[in-house]
């Protein structure tokens, strides 16, 4: 652990629901959403913006994704999901699915207790490993979020199609989330940080109050 980080207690979220905070930085999967797995949403993009064949390839690749995620790195697992789901798709098609299809499924998966805390804050920022293009419409239009800090997909400027790769600094996990929050908020740290997994502790530790919403069983 970096010497600049402090070990803090995690207050029960029910205590924070009665408080009002100026700003918040919250993870998405497993935090603002009940499900900790983003795979179903990548599948929707693969099928709706791509084809059933692409969806089948994504499904068959799931064991590789899980092994990469759990035993190599969280970043690699997500990068594989992005590559198979997005490579070769028109950016416009991805945006249409992200605005017209995904929000309905995300909305049915919202976690009530964390959303109540999120909704009371004046400045609401979501920090996620998911591609921004995939979640931004839902976060802003349905959750009332102000900003999404997430992974940026790479797009070929000539064809306007996704390459399947991501822009630097890469998939937003771990310390990259912390750096994104520092860049967004500057010297004024978010009042509250919400996360659900160990890799979220990097950005949560710089918030004034933070809640770990982890559950005993880990499911990718």
Residue 195 resides in a domain: yes
Residue 3 resides in a domain: no
Domain total in the chain: 1
What's the pLDDT tens digit per position in 156-177?
999 999 999 999 999 999 999 9
CB 181 within 8 A of CB 199: no
Residue 217 resides in a domain: no
Residue 2 resides in a domain: no
Strands 23-26 and 192-195: parallel
Residue 54 resides in a domain: yes
Residue 6 resides in a domain: no
| CATH at 182 | 3.40.50.1000
Please tell me whether residue 1 adopts helix, strand or coil conformation: coil
Residue 8 resides in a domain: no
Question: What are 130's two structure tokens?
Answer: 């998911």
Question: What are 215's two structure tokens?
Answer: 């559950």
Q: Which DSSP string corresponds to 87-104?
A: TT-BHHHHHHHHHHTHHH
Question: Comparing 12-21, 117-126, 133-142, 178-187, which segment has the lowest mean pLDDT?
Answer: 12-21
Helices (H), the chain: 13-16, 39-45, 52-60, 62-67, 74-86, 91-100, 102-107, 112-120, 132-141, 175-185, 201-204
Place of tokens 């070990």: 7
Domain range for 130: 13-212
What's the pLDDT tens digit per position in 60-111?
999 999 999 999 999 999 999 999 999 999 999 999 999 999 999 999 999 9
Distances (CA, A) of 127 to 18, 62, 156: 23, 24, 25
Residue 1 resides in a domain: no
């Amino acid at each position: 652990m970096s010497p600049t980080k402090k070990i803090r207690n995690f207050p029960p979220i029910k205590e924070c629901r009665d408080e009002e905070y100026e700003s918040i930085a919250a993870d998405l999967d497993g935090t603002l959403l009940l499900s900790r797995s983003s795979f179903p949403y990548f599948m929707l993009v693969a099928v709706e913006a791509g084809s059933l064949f692409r969806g089948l390839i994504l499904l068959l690749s799931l064991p590789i994704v899980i092994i990469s995620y759990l035993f190599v790195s969280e970043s690699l697992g997500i990068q594989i999901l992005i590559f198979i789901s997005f490579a070769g798709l028109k950016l416009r098609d991805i945006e249409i699915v992200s605005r017209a299809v995904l929000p309905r499924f995300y909305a049915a998966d919202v976690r009530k207790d964390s959303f109540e805390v999120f909704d009371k804050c004046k400045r609401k920022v979501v920090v996620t490993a998911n591609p921004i293009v995939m979640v931004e419409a839902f976060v802003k239009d349905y959750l009332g979020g102000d900003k999404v800090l997430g992974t940026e997909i790479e797009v070929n400027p000539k064809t306007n199609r996704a390459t399947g790769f991501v822009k630097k600094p890469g998939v937003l996990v771990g310390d990259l989330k912390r750096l994104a929050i520092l860049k967004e908020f500057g010297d004024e740290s978010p009042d509250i940080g919400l996360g659900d997994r160990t890799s979220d502790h990097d950005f949560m530790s710089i918030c004034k109050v933070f809640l770990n919403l982890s559950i005993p069983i880990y499911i990718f």
